[in-house]
Copies of this chain bind each other. A is one copy, B any other.
C-alpha cells in the first residue's frame, strides 16, 4: 500500500540508546543522530517525532532491558546475597571496553533530564522503584524470620541507592578497584543479621 522503510526501526532505537547513554541528551545533536543512524533528518522526524520522543523511546527501551532484567535477576536469585552478587557481576560485565565510563543511562537521565522533563522523571522513579521492590521480595524470601517490614524496605532502598552511586562513580571515572569495594560492601550488607 505504501513505500516500505529501508531501515530497521529497532536497530535505530538500539543505536540511539547507545549514543544517548554515552554522551547524554544534550551531547547528541540531530546531525549526530543522522550520522549514527545513516538516516536523513526527514526520515527521523517522520518515524520518531522529534529528538525528545526518540530519547524517551531509547530511555524506556534501556530501562526495560536493564532494570527489568535486573529486577528479574534479583527476584530469581536463591538469596539476596546471590542477587546482589549477580547484579554487580552483570554491572561489571557492562563496564568493560569502551563502555567503562558510560555509567547507566537511567541514572544519567536522572541528573541531566529528569529535572526538566516530568515524563523522564516518572520513568526514572518507576524503574528505581522496580529495583527496590525486587530487593524487598528477595529480602523477604531470603530471611523470612528477619526484622520488621520497615527495616526490609530500608535495606532494599539502601541497595538501590548504592547501585545508583556505583553507576555515577563509574561514569566519573573512579577506579575499578574502588568500584569493586563498593560492590563487595553491598554484598556484605545483605549478610547482616539483626
Residues of chain A having any CB pair with chain B under 8 Å? 22-24, 26-27, 101-103, 107-108, 110-112, 114-116, 121, 124-125, 128, 151, 153-155, 157-158, 160-166, 168-169, 171-174, 178, 181-182, 184-186, 188-189, 192
Contact = CB atoms under 8 A, between A and B. Distances in A.
Q: How many copies of this protein are present in the complex?
A: 2
Nearest to A173: B121
Interface centre among A22, A23, A111, A184 (most CB of B within 10 A): A111
A20 to B, nearest CB: 13
Given A165-B160, A165-B164, A171 B111 contact: yes
Contact of A153 (B27, B151, B166, B181): B181
Interface centre among A23, A151, A174 (most CB of B within 10 A): A174
A172 to B, nearest CB: 4
Tell me whether chain A's interface is mostly helix, strand or loop, or mixed. helix
B154 A161 contact: no
B103 A111 contact: yes
A168 B165 contact: yes
Interface centre among A26, A107, A153, A161 (most CB of B within 10 A): A161
A101 B102 CA distance: 23
B172 A154 contact: no
